[in-house]
Structure 1
Amino acid sequence: MVQRPGCGGSTRRSFLKATGGVALTAAAAGCIGSTESDAVRFILNPAEEQTDIVEEYTPMAEYLEEETGATIDLIRAGSYVETLEALESDQADIADTSPTAVPAGEGFADVIGMRTAFGGALYFSTISTTPDSGIDELADLEGEIMTTGARMSTSGTLAPTVMLSQAGLDVGNFPDGEANDLELRTAPDHDTSRERLENDEEIVAAATGAFASASQIPQEQFDDYPEFVEHSAEYDGAGEGIDDDENPELQLLAVSDPLPRAPIMARSAWDASVREDLETALLEAGENDLVPEDVDEEYQLWFTGIEPADRSDYQPVQDILDELGLEFQDFAPDDE
């Protein structure tokens, strides 16, 4: 049975609260330690969107329990960094991590597989504006205010920062400091970044993953990006969510190079007999195992499969970190 133990009245959303992004708190460690001794500790990355990630993962956990006989303990982390720290400090056996965690996990965290969405293992960042902003290309953002996603988000912040730099804008030492040619403001998640563009007249552009923007961008605007057309799960539905009242039309400024979707990783030193069975079940999971038809749309996972992958598949992410002069461990959780 999927375990959701409480601890001192705290919830899954808060009990791995960040303490500077350096180590999990002693209270959190005690919480994890209070689970059943044979439970598989599955740490969940804090969702980019404002969703209940434990609810989203519950069908997958139930599938894994049925396939392997293991007890799965779903635990929501407080930050991107904490998912990796939990593996390193033996407070987790498996973790749903971000792509940026892969380079930093060498030596203690193994890549089990890469999550896919509707058959696609690649995804994309977008930078968009509003049709009446007067912004036609990235170079026009000089002197303007732009919003991005969470500071350590690959598609919400890191890839877009590289896109701005390659367009000739001086991004300074953002996101570990300030940009020079424009003001960049981080948001806690992709949706909030887009919404700030829609609702704040000061902000003229927003960086998000395409999954948070494409439905509001007319499809033909993506046709100049053949890799997006070929590989993005969002291309077919691009523009279909435009609603003048609820979801206003956005204008595309740029699309990133393809990015590898987020991995599921395991603690390298984890030698439990159930590990091989769990990894096999993860890689063999079908869409109905991960997103059952009877699950409310609000609680559906954003991925539909997991394909084999290894550390080399995440070289594009390492390249982004290198270009920005960043390391995963540099980042404390966002304050927002």
Structure 2
Amino acid sequence: MHSLSLPRTLISAAVISAFALVTANASADLSTRYVDNDGDMVADTPSDESQWVDPDTLIFAYTPVEDPAVYADVWADFLDHLSETTGKKVQFFPVQSNAAQQEALRAGRLHVAGFNTGGVPVAVNCGGFRPFAIMAADDGSFGYEMEIITYPDSGIASVEDLEGRQLAFTSETSNSGFRAPSALLRSEYGLEADEDFETAFSGSHDNSILGVVNKDYDAAAIANSVGKRMIARGVVNEGDYDIIYTSETFPTTGYGLAHNLNPELAEKIQDAFFSYDWEGSALQEEFANSGEAQFIPITYEEQWAVIRTIADANGVTYDCD
């Protein structure tokens, strides 16, 4: 992929330092539907066993992508393993939007899921999501960078050149597709959305990338992990877009489960993630393109701290009730 010669810039320099003193009460953002007695910032499993859910069929959803059917095949072998480990039928739910995925969780129609980075806090606070895993490389490293991209010869050679042009975001809950670039552009460059540049919302990183390549958008804020996978699949080619900005590393998709699952079932679901053999799988083939080769344990409190800080920088609140 062609990249303009620019120094790597860290959002933390301007945003995170400004909010270093922001500390949230562990359960302050949680919907009143949930309790957090252990202070880990996620909803507790109900103490009343009558509120536990033990479905015959587990519904799994992966974060919205351009072609959900492709990912139904990618996840098929893992979902067979999940079924074997839990003794449950497992169904892949091809969600079309972040909002649809969030609503399915909140309504109790979704049991296991991978939410995009920015969507995890919404799912945690409004849907009782309990994230426990993330994809990582063989050495345990994980994450992706937010990039601002443009098409070659667009006349945009730097972030400053976005003034008066159009920048595509993905959705308002996306970290790299909206929140991080919004905080960056405001704090580091003094650029305000819909004042200094026009905005559009594409719905997904895939759509944003294709929109830039096809010159529907002047520029877009994307997760580079998605771009790498699209190049590896031949959906776009190296050199189809230029990179004018690269952020610090963020956690990628968070995998977790509904808070009210029977604890024995919840434990089996987690075991399925950590016991899965990636070797020779469709999951390995797809996600090796972004350097991922295993599931490792994470906590919302620790790994999503930088994402919560960016949300604070954007004045994000969770009015779920």
Cα contact 1:139–1:169 (8 A) shared by 2: no
Counterpart CA distance in 1 for 2:247 and 2:318 is: 20
Cα contact 1:44–1:96 (8 A) shared by 2: yes
Structure 1 equivalent of residue 205 of structure 2: 190
Counterpart CA distance in 1 for 2:117 and 2:283 is: 26
Matched, 1:77 2:95: yes
Cα contact 2:228–2:290 (8 A) shared by 1: no
Percent of aligned pairs sharing the same letter: 21
Structure 1 equivalent of residue 134 of structure 2: 114
Give how far 1:311 is off. 1.1
Cα contact 2:68–2:95 (8 A) shared by 1: no
Cα contact 1:147–1:205 (8 A) shared by 2: yes
Counterpart CA distance in 1 for 2:107 and 2:235 is: 45
Matched, 1:320 2:313: no
Give how far 1:242 is off. 12
Deviations 1:254-285 (A, max 9, x none): 11121111111211121153321221121232
- 267, 292, 306: which is aligned to 2:295? 306
Q: Which one scores higher on RCO, CA 8 angstroms, separation ≥ 6?
A: 2
Structure 1 equivalent of residue 22 of structure 2: none
Matched, 1:281 2:299: no
Counterpart CA distance in 2 for 1:123 and 1:60 is: 23
- 41, 44, 53: which is aligned to 2:62? 44
User: SS of the residue aligned with 1:258?
Assistant: strand
Matched, 1:181 2:196: yes
Please give the residue correspondences for 1:259-278 in structure 2 after superposition, counting only pairs within 5 Å.
Answer: 259-271=250-262, 273-278=264-269
Cα contact 2:74–2:283 (8 A) shared by 1: no
Deviations 1:115-142 (A, max 9, x none): 2356542111111223423322211211
Contiguous gaps of at least 5 residues in structure 2:
1-53
Contiguous gaps of at least 5 residues in structure 1:
1-35, 173-178, 217-233, 331-336
Counterpart CA distance in 2 for 1:171 and 1:210 is: 23
- 163, 170, 176: which is aligned to 1:155? 176
> How many residues align structurally?
261
TM-score, length-normalised on structure 1? Answer: 0.66
TM-score, length-normalised on structure 2? Answer: 0.69
**RMSD (Å), alpha carbons:** 3.5
Matched, 1:55 2:73: yes
Cα contact 1:190–1:208 (8 A) shared by 2: yes
Give how far 1:155 is off. 2.0
Counterpart CA distance in 2 for 1:292 and 1:262 is: 14
Matched, 1:145 2:166: yes
Structure 2 equivalent of residue 219 of structure 1: none
Cα contact 2:64–2:204 (8 A) shared by 1: no
Cα contact 1:128–1:207 (8 A) shared by 2: yes
Give how far 1:58 is off. 1.3
- 61, 86, 93: which is aligned to 1:68? 86
Counterpart CA distance in 2 for 1:250 and 1:292 is: 26
User: SS of the residue aligned with 2:116?
Assistant: coil
Deviations 1:288-335 (A, max 9, x none): 375368x8x69x9995322101112111111222212234668xxxxx
